[in-house]
Each structure stands twice: as structure tokens, then as C-alpha cells.
Amino acid sequence: MLSVFSDEYFMKEAYKEAIIAFEEGEVPVGAVVVCQNRIIAKAHNQTERLNDSTAHAEMIALTSAFNHLGGKYLPDCSLYVTLEPCVMCAGASFWAQIVKLVYGASDPKRGFDRLSENILHPKTKVIPGIMESECRYLIDDFFRRVREK
């Protein structure tokens, strides 16, 4: 059973968003923003639907969280995302000043960590590898199907 308010609990919610993306034919990445143990924003990748290659789950979730809280920073918030953020999304988390970044599968090709850890805000704690195998399988399965088409 999942403990309420654990990293696994919130990652499971991000994973549900990734599943929605998968079903919509989008690269299956999902994200949630959590503030004081409450989910204040959920989003999934919408690059195809919006015809916008910057419409990543994290960007949409962060903007939704700003709207929800009415402030331009998210200093008490954590970002959960099923795939290691790219440089753009890690840079967005810097501006948001999030306190914790939790991700599932790593992304050796486009993940922020391949370039520099300094992309993140100094106060952002990083927790990688939560539900890693499920998140990885979903991405791999998506691209396998794309290649078979």
C-alpha cells in the first residue's frame, strides 16, 4: 500500500498523467506540483496536441501552479515528473524556486543532468529514480510502438 504523502504516492499521480499522454499519442510524461502535501497542479506532455515542442508536462504543471497560488514563485512546492527534466524544464524549475524535484526514469540523452547540476536552483533537492522501472517501461513502450508503425 502506498503511504499517503510519500514520494511514491505523488509519483503515482504523475504516472497517471503520463498514461493519459500515452493514450493521446503524446510522449508519455506526466507531472504534478505538490504544495504542503496537496496536489495543486497536474499535467501531461501536450507537444502534439498543441503543436508546440515546448509544451512539456513540467512547463504546463508549473504555469498551472503559478495560476493556482497567484504568485510567481513556488518556494514551498515540489515537482514530481516521470522523466528526468530536460534543460528547459529544469531551467523553469530554477525560476519557480521549487524546493524538491522528484523524477522517475533518467534521460541520458536530453536530461538536464548530462550538462550541469548547476541548472537547478541551489535550494532544490533532487530525488531521482522513484518508480523508475514503470516510468522507463512506459517511455520505451511508446517509442517501440512509434517505430513499428
**Closer residue to a copy of itself (CB): 5 or 114:** 114
Rounded to the nearest whole angstrom, what is the least distance from the CB of residue 13 to a copy of itself in the complex? Answer: 22
Angle at 109 between CA 21 and CA 41, to 5 degrees: 35
Q: Is 56 annotated as a binding residue?
A: yes
Bridge-based pairing state of the strands 77-83 and 38-44 = unpaired
Q: How many helices (H) and strands (E) does the chain have?
A: 4, 5
Binding site for a copy of itself (CB under 8 A): 47-48, 50-55, 59, 62-63, 66-67, 70-73, 86-92, 94-97, 115-116, 118-119
Alpha-carbon distances, residue 15 vs 54, 70, 93, 115 (angstroms):
20, 26, 19, 26
Q: Is 89 annotated as a binding residue?
A: yes
Q: Is 77 annotated as a binding residue?
A: no
**Closer residue to a copy of itself (CB): 3 or 51:** 51
Sequential DSSP letters for 88-132: HHHHHHHHHT-SEEEEEE--TTTBGGGT-GGGS-TT-EEE--TTH
Rounded to the nearest whole angstrom, what is the least distance from the CB of residue 92 to a copy of itself in the complex? Answer: 5
Amino acid, res. 39: I
**Closer residue to a copy of itself (CB): 18 or 60:** 60
In whole angstroms, what is the distance from residue 56 CA to residue 80 CA? 13
Determine whether 58 is an active site residue.
Answer: yes
Q: Which of 58, 132, 134, 148 is catalytic?
A: 58
Query: What residues form the annotated binding site for Zn(2+)?
Result: 56, 86, 89
List binding-site positions. 56, 86, 89
Active-site residues, by number, are: 58
